[in-house]
Amino acid sequence: MGEIEHPYDPSQMRVSDADRQRVADVLRDAAAEGRLDLYELEERLELTWQAKTYGELVPITVDLQPAGPVTPPAAAPVRRPQPSVPAVGHNSSTAIMGDCRRRGVWQVPEHHSAFSLMGSVTLDLREAILTSHETQINASAIMGDVKILVPAHVHVVVDGTPIMGDYGQARDKVPAEIGPDSPVVRVRGLALMGSVQVQRLPAPGTPRKYLGTF
Answer yes or no: do 101 and 32 share one domain.
Answer: no
pLDDT value at residue 65: 52
> By C-alpha distance, which of 199, 189, 100, 192 is closest to 150?
199
- The predicted model gives 139-163 an average pLDDT of 92
- Assess if residue 211 is contained within a domain: no
Residue 149 — pLDDT band, cuts 50, 70, 90? very high
Answer yes or no: do 126 and 37 share one domain.
Answer: no
Whether the pLDDT of residue 8 is over 60: the answer is: no
Q: What angle do CA 15, 18, 19 make, to 5 degrees?
A: 45
What span, in angstroms and rounded, lies between the C-alpha atoms of 168 and 26? Answer: 30
Answer yes or no: do 107 and 19 share one domain.
Answer: no
- Assess if residue 34 is contained within a domain: yes
Cβ contacts of 89 within 8 Å, gap of 6 or more: 106, 107, 108, 109, 131
Answer yes or no: do 97 and 181 share one domain.
Answer: yes
The last residue of a domain, from among 18, 44, 61: 61
Answer yes or no: do 34 and 136 share one domain.
Answer: no
**Containing H/E element for 146?**
strand 145-150
What span, in angstroms and rounded, lies between the C-alpha atoms of 67 and 4? Answer: 29
- Give per-residue pLDDT as tens, 185-209: 999 998 998 999 999 998 887 765 5
Residue 11 — pLDDT band, cuts 50, 70, 90? low
> What's the 3-state SS for 28-70?
HHHHHCCCCCHHHHHHHHHHHHHCCEHHHHHHHHCCCCCCCCC
- Assess if residue 53 is contained within a domain: yes
The answer to whether residues 158 and 136 touch, using CB atoms and an 8 Å cutoff, is no
Residue 116 — pLDDT band, cuts 50, 70, 90? very high
pLDDT value at residue 9: 54
Answer yes or no: do 117 and 187 share one domain.
Answer: yes
- Assess if residue 168 is contained within a domain: yes
pLDDT value at residue 79: 47
Range(s) of the domain holding residue 200: 92-204
The reply to whether the predicted model has a pTM over 0.85 is no
- Assess if residue 160 is contained within a domain: yes
pLDDT value at residue 23: 81
pLDDT value at residue 83: 44
> By C-alpha distance, which of 37, 54, 17 is closest to 204?
17
DSSP 84: T
pLDDT value at residue 100: 94
DSSP 26: H
Answer yes or no: do 56 and 97 share one domain.
Answer: no
- Assess if residue 35 is contained within a domain: yes
What span, in angstroms and rounded, lies between the C-alpha atoms of 197 and 171? Answer: 10
Strand-pair partners of 130: 108
- Assess if residue 74 is contained within a domain: no
The answer to whether residues 23 and 48 touch, using CB atoms and an 8 Å cutoff, is yes
- The predicted model gives 89-96 an average pLDDT of 88
Among 18-32, 73-87, 113-127, 134-148, where is mean pLDDT lowest?
73-87
Total domain count, the chain: 2
- Assess if residue 69 is contained within a domain: no
- The predicted model gives 144-165 an average pLDDT of 92
pLDDT value at residue 70: 45
- Give per-residue pLDDT as tens, 121-135: 999 999 899 989 999
**Containing H/E element for 20?**
helix 17-32
What distances in angstroms separate CA 92 from CA 95, 125, 162, 200, one per listed residue?
Answer: 10, 14, 21, 21
- The predicted model gives 16-39 an average pLDDT of 80
